[in-house]
Amino acid sequence: MTFVPTDRGPDTAALTRLACLPHVPLGHYPTPVEELSRFREALGGGPRLLVKRDDAIPFGFGGNKVRKLQYVLAEALAAGADTLVTCGSVQSNHARATIAAARRHGLHPVLVANGAPPDRPTANALLDHLMGAEIHYVPGRADRAPGMAAHAARLRAEGRHPWIIPLGASTPLGAMGYVHAMTELLDQIPAPDVIVHACSSGGTQAGLLAGATLHAIRTRVIGISADDPSGEVSDAIRRTITGMGPLLGLDGDALAAACRIDVRDAFVGEGYGIPTEASQEAQKLA
């Protein structure tokens, strides 16, 4: 089926297919939408500012990865996996959420983490240890994917059934979590003019863009890169949206062409996980 952008309303057929995709419930929804009144006042008024509190998802300490994991975990369980293999930084939120999801469903979690092993694990690294994850450290980000493949091969040789979940669970199937999130948001408030969010692996933005397109709304979705150049992130988002098309009964290339991908990389600062003075000030204002 070819996707043709239209002003005639939502693509109900594609949204129905989304509702039928298998997923494993993690947490409770909808997450609340709250006013950022103090932040708005600090900026001198202007547009109404709202925040959707996906950090408050009551599973694995929340965060956007939980929505995506609901779909990729269902796929892993259907395939008979007994082990989840994923990757991230030493303090990865995605890793923490994936390990929690694995433990909830009786699977063995394996993490390939880039960075030095901490002498005394804290924060997410401590939680990963407390949840009993098998953790392997690699020098850099480029070593993560080969590391996952190597450990998956080892596990198969040992008679296990591993399932690899890429960084951020940002697969076409995982991104469906944020198509659903867009539907959820539109049940709570009128279509916003702009959605601004942090992005890295691109799955969240792919889902939001596809969701906006399927609902035939004109909401702009702006991703603020946490690490990579905007061109690289945009390419990853485009590939993910293209892969989402067939899952929704649509032509993937046409769906991607209908989505306006907008990624900004001017706020990366010194790198991933290193807060800038401006970001710290914004947190105080909010």
The residues carrying an active-site annotation are 92
Cα(134)–Cα(274) distance, rounded to whole angstroms?
Answer: 26
Between the CA of residue 146 and those of 87, 89, 136, 138, 142, what are the distances in Å?
Answer: 10, 15, 12, 10, 8
* Residue 160 burial (C-beta neighbours within 10 Å; 0-12, 13-18, 19+): middle
Burial class of residue 56 in the structure, from the number of CB atoms within 10 Å of its CB (0-12 exposed, 13-18 middle, 19+ buried): middle
Read off the tokens for 40: 């708005």
Alpha helices in the chain (DSSP H): 12-20, 37-42, 65-78, 93-104, 123-130, 144-157, 176-188, 203-214, 230-247, 252-258, 277-285
Among candidate residues 161, 193, 187, 208, the one with its CA nearest the CA of residue 67: 208
What is the bridge-based pairing of β-strands 83-89 and 108-114? parallel
